[in-house]
Amino acid sequence: MSSKRKLFFLLIFISSTFYIFNFLKIRITTTRSPSMRLAKIPRTPKYSPFVPHKLTNQATFQEEEPFTPKELDFLSNIITRNQNRNLLFFGLNPQFLPLAEATTGGSVIFLEDDAERIQRFRLRTTYRNVTVHMVRYNEVAGGAYELLRHGREEPDCGRKTSKFFGETRCRLALSCLPQEVYRRKWDVVVVDGPRGNWPDAPGRMAAIYTAAVIARMGSGTDVVVHDVDRMIEKWFSWEFLCHDNLVSAKGKLWNFRINGTFQSDGFCPVKKVQIM
């Protein structure tokens, strides 16, 4: 075989090998690329039905949606009906501070679970008649469904045994708050904390329940709940503040008027929504 003939076959072999290699490379890349792209998309976890419908990721957990001007006017009208009022806030929202300042003769208490926010408040602002207390919540938003069942079945959570002094088996009772919170008669209670916008974050179940019990210790209390477009706030308000007591609403705010009494068959006179 001549050298030219051998060189011809060698070139054909090299070209064929190069062609086959590139073909296999393209096939491998095409086969792997979809799974690689899918691997970057996080799977959506399954939560209980009571998870708020607006979930944020952990990176933006500290962000919160501000009150609209109409919502602030609505809340201001409730508070300023009588300037000498006692105001209790679950959640230290800076937008509430001017409203608290307008209450000249009453007592104003904020209950906040964010230590950093409390520190910023103490360093940057001075408001008379305003006290801020640190509070810790043990129940997370993702467990709200099971906690509602507990609230219905646990005798210590019932109307006759609701208490905050001493031992209690009710997981909804905030029994470690300052004593003045339980002893004072509150004219307005605003539930805007904890944030409750992530399944692993503290939810507002205990805050709403505690507001309902505290309101019934007074002679007439307005309880205002924020973010009622979220399932936790909506269901726990229906359960313990009662739809019959809902007197007004604006935006994401519900205003309940509690007259200081319990119904004979529980917190609310209406039939409870069935949970499975």
10-residue averages of pLDDT along the chain (276 residues): 60 61 47 36 37 39 72 92 85 88 82 91 73 93 94 83 66 90 93 92 96 88 96 95 94 92 64 54
CA–CA dist 34, 41 (Å, integer): 11
pLDDT of residue 13: 62
What value does the CA radius of gyration of the chain take, rounded to a whole number of Å? 29
Which residue reads 């019932």 in tokens?
A: 158
Q: Mind listing the pLDDT tens digit for each residue in 166-219?
A: 578 899 999 889 999 988 999 999 999 998 888 999 999 999 999 999 998 888
pLDDT of residue 249: 97
Environment class of 101 (CB within 10 Å of its CB; exposed 0-12, middle 13-18, buried 19+): middle
pLDDT of residue 197: 87
CA–CA dist 149, 146 (Å, integer): 5
pLDDT of residue 230: 94
Q: Mind listing the pLDDT tens digit for each residue in 99-114?
A: 887 776 788 999 999 9
The pTM for the full model equals: 0.75
